[in-house]
Amino acid sequence: MPAEKIVLDYSKAKTLCIRLNGDWLITTGIPKVNEVIERITQPKDIQQLAFDTSGIGKWDSGLVAFLFHLIRECEHKHIGVDFQGLPSGAQKLLALALKINEKAPTERRQDNSFFIRVADKALKLTDNILSLLNFLGEIAVAFGRLIMGRVYFRWDEFMVILQHCGADALVLVSLISVLVGIILAFIGASQLKLFGAQIYIANIVGIGMVRVMGAMMAAILISGRTGASFAAELGLMQTNEEIDALQTLGVSPVEFLVIPRILALVIMMPLLTLYADLMGILGGFIMSITLLGLNPVEYWQHTLSSVTLSNLWVGLIHSFVFGIIIAVAGCFHGMQCRRSASAVGEATTAGVVSAIISIVIATAVITFVCQVLGV
């Protein structure tokens, strides 16, 4: 109890003697310093604080922390403190803690009011948009230089990236696409059954997968897989000063690191999408034949007649745009990464999240444009 641990002795004029009793250990609890301060300052004429620790038991840095706080409060209130009565170890620790002057607040302002935060966010957003535009400009210039053959292009490195983006993702794409095909078939079946038109499942699965679902599912998978790895890889290179080392060689990191990654995804996304389309149709086919009892030949013919070349083109345009979006989002956030481990995590998250949001927006735009054009 605080009352037992701290006894205030007002017997001397203008001096308050604080008597500390019992154990003062972090593990057993320390009295709250604010309560003591209130009691100290009640008589207005106190000018000096003294301590009597003859009754103190075991103590650790909990005591020192309590005294440190108390003494700083006394300094604020212009009350002198006499350290003599304290245990000598505590005196030394306090001397050490009080030796370093508290620095005046630095030149950076710390205003957390609502409007300041809103303004800060808005400014940051403008900064981000500007740096994204800048980044896109750099990419355009780098592509120009690539076409003119003025970029140092490492083919072996490019092949490794291609393999990582494409072949290594096949298992995952197969699994997800087959399942999406099955889901589409299931949803279609439950409704079409009402009209006895189950065979049109083939149309739903075929057109749905080829026109948008194949590209979109592949893109979401690749943004979580490859986009994240681009952001983390470039972010870590930024943290390790590897990108600085490139710049001092007079090499543009965009040319050296970003261009091969964008190219790789732009090549691989349409291929992965075609593969995802086939796997999705296969999933719907298996589902329809086994569980819904449809005729395989009829199903196959319905698929062939419903999926037109224009559907395929729309799907491929989707995948091409998604490839650019994923690569640019991953690389942009990786290149913007600050130099710490947590920043790499943030860059990766930002890369994936912004890619997925952009993918959905791009899908909406492309769908709308196709609708207007009647494709």
Chain positions contacting other proteins, by CB under 8 A: 106-108, 152, 157, 236-237, 240-242, 244-251
Nearer residue to other proteins within complex by CB, 159 or 369 = 159
Nearer residue to other proteins within complex by CB, 35 or 127 = 127
DSSP secondary structure string for all residues of 292-348: S---HHHHHHHHHHHS-HHHHHHHHHHHHHHHHHHHHHHHHHHHT--SSHHHHHHHH
Q: How far is the CB of 96 from other proteins (least distance, A)?
A: 15
The Cα–Cα gap between 47 and 42 comes to 12
Q: How far is the CB of 72 from other proteins (least distance, A)?
A: 23
Q: Of 327, 266, 317, which Cα lies nearest the Cα of 136? A: 327
Q: How far is the CB of 272 from other proteins (least distance, A)?
A: 23
DSSP assignment letter at 23: E
**CA dihedral defined by 263, 268, 271, 276, rounded to 10 degrees?**
-140
Q: How far is the CB of 198 from other proteins (least distance, A)?
A: 52
Helix or strand run (H / E) with residue 42: none
Nearer residue to other proteins within complex by CB, 28 or 247 = 247
What are the angstrom distances between the C-alpha of 279 and each of 32, 172, 285, 297?
A: 67, 11, 10, 18
DSSP secondary structure string for all residues of 205-223: HHHHIIIIIHHHHHHHHHI
Nearer residue to other proteins within complex by CB, 27 or 101 = 101
Nearer residue to other proteins within complex by CB, 3 or 249 = 249
Q: How far is the CB of 266 from other proteins (least distance, A)?
A: 21
Query: Are 306 and 199 in contact, with CB atoms under 8 Å apart?
Result: no
Nearer residue to other proteins within complex by CB, 23 or 242 = 242
Q: How far is the CB of 236 from other proteins (least distance, A)?
A: 8
Nearer residue to other proteins within complex by CB, 73 or 242 = 242
What are the angstrom distances between the C-alpha of 120 and each of 124, 339, 349?
A: 6, 21, 21
Q: Of 211, 203, 261, which Cα lies nearest the Cα of 232? A: 261
Helix (H, G, I), strand (E, B) or coil at 268: helix
Q: Which two tokens stand for residue 122?
A: 């808005």
Q: How far is the CB of 51 from other proteins (least distance, A)?
A: 31
